[in-house]
Amino acid sequence: MVVVLILLTVMLLGGLALARMTEVGTLAAGNAAFRESAVQASEVGINTAFASVAVLANENTDQGNWYRAATLADDASGLPTFNFDNAAQVTVGAYTANFLVDRQCGGVMPVVDPMRQCLVKVDIDPEKPETNDPNKKVDPPTTTQYRITARITGPKDTRVWVQSLVNK
């Protein structure tokens, strides 16, 4: 009788351990699904920010809570030092995408000469032999680069950060 009770206790503990492992696996799979959904929702935030940059009339002035005319300093994780609770937002189902665009300018801040500090030089195209002539001058800079940072929050405290560089 004692041996049977001991065996039943061991089997009960084994069953509880197996049930707990199955529960942890299910929770991990759910968390991965929430994260993947948040990454997919980030596309809407990035695209909304890009569309706003495309129609930006004055690149030299901050625009409300979504655009900064100069490059923002980064924190230790590589994200701009900005309160994303106040950033522009778009809602995608159960997810909220807050986004910020900052123009990538080099040199001394604040920006005093946007034509020199904020334009990106165009590289010579290696696929076109006619552009590889060493006597040919490189085209003047014509592109401005912007960094879009989006923070996506969702169910079960899901939080994902996505960054993208775009040219205009």
117 within 8 A of 142, measured Cβ to Cβ: no
Q: Beta-carbon neighbour count of residue 95 at 10 Å?
A: 22
Residue 85's alpha-carbon distances to 53, 66, 95, 150, 153, in angstroms, are 20, 11, 14, 11, 11
Q: Which two three-digit tokens encode residue 26?
A: 């299910």
pLDDT, one tens digit for every residue, the chain (168 residues)? 888 889 889 999 988 888 777 777 777 788 888 889 999 999 999 999 999 999 988 888 888 899 998 888 889 988 998 999 999 999 999 999 999 999 888 766 677 777 777 776 655 556 665 555 555 555 556 678 899 999 999 998 889 999 999 888
Q: Are 70 and 35 contacting, i.e. CB atoms less than 8 angstroms apart? A: no
- As a whole number of angstroms, the distance between CA 3 and CA 129 comes to 86
**Entry pTM:** 0.72
